[in-house]
Structure 1
Amino acid sequence: EGTVEAGGGRRGLRAPGESVLLSCRGSGFTFENHYVRWDRQAPGAGVEWVSWISHYSSQAQFGPALEGRATASRDNSRSEASLSLHLLHAGDCARYFCAVCTETRNQLSLNTN
């Protein structure tokens, strides 16, 4: 069974305008075969899609809340994906998740604080 593990980022406060880098690493499956998706959940709110990045980084898309303020990247040789958030503001306060869909169609997800 594949897994996705936390890495990067740290829990804590950020000042408005700062940036943060979130990352995750997959294991037990062929990472490069899968899109990586990022979602977030603010306190008391539902889950909101924020980004996805294609197999070989040729395409990335962002939700309206992060458009123009985020970059997504991945390093398939290390089975890692990253999401950089820039110009942070109070509305970005949330628990962030990354996920992939495996060959068995199970969604592997990670909560990144």
Structure 2
Amino acid sequence: LAYIAEHPEFALELMARLIRRARLATESARSVALIDVYGRLVRLLNSMAQLPNDKGERALKERLTHQQMAQHLACSREMVSRLLKDLETGGYIDVRERWIWLLKTLPARW
């Protein structure tokens, strides 16, 4: 308390960080409750995609395993694998050397 009294900017920064974390937790809970797995996957892929190359293709900024995606999306690894395979079969994504490429705009519904 004495430190906070002497450094009020510390308290403001601490509150700002706490508010940010609470908002992230709320958004995550809302996403799991209201958006289906495919919608969450599309949101994840679009948020991780880089700017398009000259062909309009976008690579993800980092490699993610299906298990990592599943943990982020709050679903099973099998569900992620199934959805990604369907998107690959439909020509929406391609996997090159374990990197996911978005070839065209992902459909809103699957």
The TM-score with structure 2 as length reference comes to 0.26
The structure, 1 or 2, with the larger RCO (C-alpha pairs under 8 Å, 6+ apart) is 1
Structure with a larger share of its residues in helix: 2
Structure having the higher strand fraction is 1
Larger Rg: 2
